[in-house]
């Protein structure tokens, strides 16, 4: 559980988190290692049957059976919990998508209605349509800029509101406090995909969110060599998240947990460099005649920029820009000609990537208007590029 009265700076917490003596020291020996090592396990051997039977009663952070983790994964989960003031605990998942789907399953039941932000990562939308809908859980998509207007969409059946801020591909920054205040007053649970900002740049639970989800594959691992997801919950929702993850048999490999924990230690410095590199490129692009618009939350041209200024402690390294005209072939030629940007999925690693993106394929409640509200529909499908910056200067 994170400590609300803990006044250490987030970067200090990062350096100190998840290093409990019982995970880093040998009994009866002075001193200890800095990082909890990789504990690999399936079978745990008990001293006798009495210990085996006793172990069943509380398996959280106890050696019980490999699927319930070892100190390697507990340490990472503990560190992520420590980064979110007000959190009770964190469960780890083999991918960000696994974390999102399990968090939704933890709070929804047949007959419920989910309000889903229109700019959600597209596999999140697919989960709603292909898994939740057949289970009798309806999803209503809402405009990411709706703010307090969300109240008008709430019905008797609304059980949960899912946020992602900024949104995938189109980067709208949501008014999280306005939405969570209404949700709390009506007893509706809120979940956020906080992958872009991480708890370092946006403290989700402090802004009223109940459940914060990360694709740790991105900035937490940080080196493009492991997949992972996490769900961090308030005391009210912690049991539901934990038991649902256990029911689905979700777990992570200790080697991957160790890699993620190692990445986490340098998150603060890496994110700041991402911020610096991305802003330099975004500002340069904004001044180019070939570019119609840059969707970077720290620039006024991004929808919800003023909310980013109000609520966020920084900007990470992922943004989109829209070409001033041109077609599919021109966009591909531009990307193919980049010397220092790779072409591939994911982000948050130390290298740079550029991708063609077409948000209109994943929007139903809003219209993707690539060239801005004043521009005709003809330009609304203008080519967009997703830029993922490196931590190089």
Ligand X SMILES: Cc1ncc(COP(=O)(O)O)c(C=O)c1O
Given the rule CB under 6 A, which residues bind ligand X? 95-97, 121, 168, 193, 195, 215, 217, 227, 229, 346
Of the two residues 170 and 244, which places its CB atom closer to ligand X in the complex? 170
Cα(293)–Cα(64) distance, rounded to whole angstroms? 54
Question: What is the signed CA dihedral for 167, 169, 171, 177, rounded to 10 degrees?
Answer: 0
Report whether 90 contacts 214 (CB < 8 A). no
* Residues assigned a catalytic role: 67, 121, 193, 218
| Least separation in angstroms between CB 99 and ligand X | 8
Give residue for tokens 């940007």: 341
Residues in the chain: 393
For the chain, where are the E strands, in sequence order? 89-93, 113-117, 138-142, 158-164, 189-193, 211-215, 229-233, 291-295, 318-323, 353-357, 384-388
Closest residue to ligand X, judged by C-beta, is 96
Q: How far is the CB of 318 from ligand X (least distance, A)?
A: 8
Q: How far is the CB of 124 from ligand X (least distance, A)?
A: 7
Show the CA angle centred on residue 252, arms to residues 258 and 260, nearest 5°.
30
Angle at 158 between CA 156 and CA 161, to 5 degrees: 155
How far apart are the C-alpha atoms of 347 and 354, rounded to whole Å? 10
- Taking the least distance from each CB to ligand X, the nearer of 182 and 302 is 302
Distance of CA 21 to the CA centre of its chain: 29
CA–CA dist 361, 355 (Å, integer):
15
């Amino acid at each position: 559980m994170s400590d609300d009265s803990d006044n250490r700076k987030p970067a200090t917490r990062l350096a100190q988190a998840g290093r409990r003596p019982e995970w880093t020291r040998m009994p009866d020996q002075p001193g200890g290692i800095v990082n909890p090592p990789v504990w690999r396990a399936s079978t745990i051997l008990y001293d006798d049957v009495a210990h085996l039977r006793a172990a069943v009663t509380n398996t959280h952070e106890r050696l019980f059976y490999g699927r319930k983790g070892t100190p390697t994964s507990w340490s990472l989960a503990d560190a992520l919990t420590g980064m979110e003031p007000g959190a009770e605990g964190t469960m780890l998942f083999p991918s960000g998508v696994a974390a999102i789907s399990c968090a939704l399953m933890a709070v929804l039941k047949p007959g419920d209605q989910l309000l889903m932000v229109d700019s959600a990562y597209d596999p999140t939308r697919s989960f709603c349509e292909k898994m939740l809908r057949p289970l009798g859980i309806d999803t209503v998509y809402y405009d990411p800029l709706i703010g307090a207007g969300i109240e008008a969409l709430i019905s008797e059946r609304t059980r949960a509101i899912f946020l992602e801020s900024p949104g995938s591909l189109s980067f709208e920054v949501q008014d999280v406090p306005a939405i969570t205040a209404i949700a709390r007053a009506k007893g509706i649970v809120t979940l956020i995909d906080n992958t872009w900002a991480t708890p370092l740049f946006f403290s989700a639970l402090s802004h009223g969110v109940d459940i914060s989800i990360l694709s740790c594959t991105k900035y937490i691992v940080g080196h493009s060599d492991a997949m992972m997801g996490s769900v961090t919950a308030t005391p009210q929702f912690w049991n539901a998240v934990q038991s649902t993850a256990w029911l689905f048999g979700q777990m992570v490999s200790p080697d991957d947990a160790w890699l993620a924990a190692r990445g986490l230690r340098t998150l603060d410095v890496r994110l700041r460099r991402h911020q610096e590199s991305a802003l330099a490129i975004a500002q340069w692009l904004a001044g180019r005649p070939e570019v119609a618009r840059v969707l970077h939350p720290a620039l006024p041209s991004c929808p919800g920029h003023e909310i980013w200024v109000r609520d966020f402690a920084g900007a990470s390294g992922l943004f989109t820009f829209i070409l001033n005209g041109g077609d599919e072939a021109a966009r591909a030629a531009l990307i193919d000609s980049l010397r220092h940007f790779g072409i591939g999925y994911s982000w948050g690693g130390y290298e740079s990537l550029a991708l063609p993106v077409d948000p209109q394929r994943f929007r139903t409640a809003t219209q993707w208007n690539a060239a801005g509200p004043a521009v005709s529909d003809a330009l609304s499908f203008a080519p967009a590029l997703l830029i993922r910056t490196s931590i190089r200067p």
